[in-house]
């Protein structure tokens, strides 16, 4: 009998799920024991993803809580919004560790969830139990947790860029603007007109302006870190690349600070956290430099003319923005080194 932790993946046939498969196959303490599909049970996972041939060809299981309980110790949900709302409480009650990659348990206010996601909110008792898994910021709460709500892709890039300055008390709380751009895999594997090749190729567009569902998630965490309510402007864009998010963030400071003070603040905040890399002065990260990896790279510039801080933060949306951070959270939950199974170099070029 295996001594490895047994993992099930609901939504294994989507981009988040298949990235979890790639990462968990390389994890020394985890064995994938169930890949789950709501629409294609009985088929091999490799039928839809031929890159898995001779690597993982398991048959897909149906979504069945009793079966998951029998086959797994931890379950990842990489499902569309609204699925985890119903499923996660049953899995938690069955005694499983649960890591939800969807947005269903991120917002502590069910009313906000219904307003921004247009779905019925989950049971407030389970929302209260879900620990928000922004790994570098809330590691102490994640260690030993049983139910993790994994942050969204844009919030991961944007919040890691903002956390040190938000927590410092130096930031003007009314001044936050983030302008974020994502590759197309952020929209999942499902087909739609927006992600059609001839619509997105050689194109660049803003979408969900002032309506993006990640806005209240970023505001909720910023407000918590700053100790006062933060309302922000957040604009998302789609760029014709497969993976990657770059968030350009602007904040005003309450008082003039030197650039050295800002660099010291960021370096101290992330000291010992290997997946956040602060670039040297005058250097700014690009999405390719974190491609396929769990890194979040951050560049900083304080404009001496305006006193305004510009922060550039990049991640791979399917790794640090989803599956990689989920595995990092599992590592923290289990008391393993947070980099277990994740200590690989970005793919370049």
Which amino acids are annotated catalytic?
Answer: 153
Asked if 160 and 298 count as a contact pair (C-beta separation under 8 A), the reply is yes
Our CB check for ligand X2W shows the closer of 85 and 182 to be 182
DSSP strand E in the chain: where?
Answer: 5-10, 30-36, 74-77, 97-100, 131-132, 147-149, 177-182, 205-207, 233-238, 245-252, 276-278, 296-302, 308-315
Which does residue 313 bind out of ligand NDP, ligand X2W, none, counting CB within 5 to 8 angstroms by kind? none
Q: How far is the CB of 153 from ligand X2W (least distance, A)?
A: 5
240 interacts with ligand NDP by CB under 6 A: no
Our CB check for ligand X2W shows the closer of 194 and 306 to be 194
101 interacts with ligand NDP by CB under 6 A: yes
Query: Interface with ligand X2W by CB under 6 A: which range of 45-53, 138-146, 182-190, 262-270?
Result: 182-190
Our CB check for ligand NDP shows the closer of 12 and 168 to be 12
238 interacts with ligand X2W by CB under 6 A: yes
Our CB check for ligand NDP shows the closer of 78 and 222 to be 78
User: Interface residues for ligand NDP in 68-87 (CB under 6 A)?
Assistant: 78-81, 83
Our CB check for ligand X2W shows the closer of 168 and 220 to be 220
Joined tokens for residue 303: 């404009």
Joined tokens for residue 92: 């938690």
Using DSSP bridges, classify how beta strands 74-77 and 5-10 pair: parallel, antiparallel or unpaired.
parallel
Q: Which of 102, 287, 328, 329 binds ligand NDP (CB under 6 A)?
A: 102
Q: Please give the C-alpha separations between residue 268 and each of 10, 93, 155, 165, in angstroms, as whole numbers.
A: 38, 39, 21, 11
11 interacts with ligand NDP by CB under 6 A: yes
Per-residue contact flags (x/-) with ligand X2W for residues 87 to 116, judged by CB under 6 A: ---------------xx-------------
Question: What's the CA gap between 109 and 4, in Å, rounded?
Answer: 36
Using DSSP bridges, classify how beta strands 74-77 and 97-100 pair: parallel, antiparallel or unpaired.
parallel
Q: What is the DSSP string of 216-284?
A: HHHHHHHHHHHTS----EEEEEE-SSSS-EEEEEEEEBSS---HHHHHHHHHHHTTT-TTEEEPPTT--
Our CB check for ligand NDP shows the closer of 177 and 187 to be 187
Q: How far is the CB of 319 from ligand X2W (least distance, A)?
A: 13
Query: Interface with ligand NDP by CB under 6 A: which range of 98-106, 138-146, 259-267, 288-296?
Result: 98-106
Q: Cα angle vertex 304, ends 301, 306, to 5°?
A: 95
Burial of 320 (0-12, 13-18, 19+ CB in 10 A): buried
Query: Interface with ligand X2W by CB under 6 A: which range of 4-12, 47-55, 158-166, 181-189?
Result: 181-189
Closest CA to 34 of 95, 76, 1: 76
Which does residue 13 bind out of ligand NDP, ligand X2W, none, counting CB within 5 to 8 angstroms by kind? ligand NDP
H or E segment and range at residue 137: helix 135-142
User: Interface residues for ligand NDP in 24-43 (CB under 6 A)?
Assistant: 37-40
Q: What is the DSSP string of 113-125?
A: HHHHH-SPPPPHH
List interacting residues with ligand NDP (CB under 6 A).
10-11, 13-17, 37-40, 63, 78-81, 83, 101-103, 152-153, 185-186, 188-190, 317-318, 321-322
List interacting residues with ligand X2W (CB under 6 A).
102-103, 152-153, 182, 186-187, 213-214, 236, 238
């Amino acid at each position: 009998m295996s001594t490895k932790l047994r993992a099930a993946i609901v939504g294994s046939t989507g981009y988040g799920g298949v990235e979890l498969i790639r990462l968990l196959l390389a994890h020394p303490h985890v064995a994938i024991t169930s890949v789950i599909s709501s629409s294609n049970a009985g088929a091999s996972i490799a039928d839809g993803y031929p890159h898995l041939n001779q690597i993982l060809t398991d048959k897909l299981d149906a979504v069945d809580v009793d079966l998951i309980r029998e086959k797994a110790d931890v379950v990842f949900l990489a499902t569309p919004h609204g699925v985890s709302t119903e499923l996660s409480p049953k899995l938690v009650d069955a005694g499983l560790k649960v890591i939800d990659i969807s947005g269903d348990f991120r917002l502590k206010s069910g009313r906000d969830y219904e307003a921004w996601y247009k779905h019925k909110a989950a049971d407030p008792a389970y929302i209260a139990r879900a620990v928000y898994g922004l790994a570098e910021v809330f590691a102490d709460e994640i260690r030993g947790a049983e139910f993790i709500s994994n942050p969204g892709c844009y919030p991961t890039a944007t919040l890691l860029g903002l956390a040190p300055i938000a927590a410092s008390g130096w930031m003007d709380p009314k001044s936050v603007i983030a302008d974020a751009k994502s590759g197309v895999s952020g929209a999942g594997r499902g087909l739609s007109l927006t992600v059609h090749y001839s619509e997105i190729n050689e194109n660049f567009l803003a979408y969900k302006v002032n309506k993006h569902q990640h806005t209240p998630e970023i505001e909720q965490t910023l407000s918590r870190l700053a100790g006062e309510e933060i309302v922000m402007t957040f604009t998302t864009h789609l760029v014709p690349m497969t993976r990657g998010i770059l968030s350009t963030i602007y904040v005003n400071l309450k008082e003039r600070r030197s650039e050295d003070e800002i660099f010291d603040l960021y370096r101290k905040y992330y000291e010992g956290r290997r997946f956040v890399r602060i670039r040297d002065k005058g250097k700014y990260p690009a999405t390719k430099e974190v491609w396929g990896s769990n890194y979040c790279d951050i560049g900083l510039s304080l404009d001496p003319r305006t006193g305004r801080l510009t922060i550039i933060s990049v991640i791979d949306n399917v790794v640090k923005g989803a599956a990689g951070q989920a595995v990092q959270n599992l590592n923290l939950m289990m008391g393993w080194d947070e980099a277990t199974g994740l200590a690989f170099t970005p793919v370049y070029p």
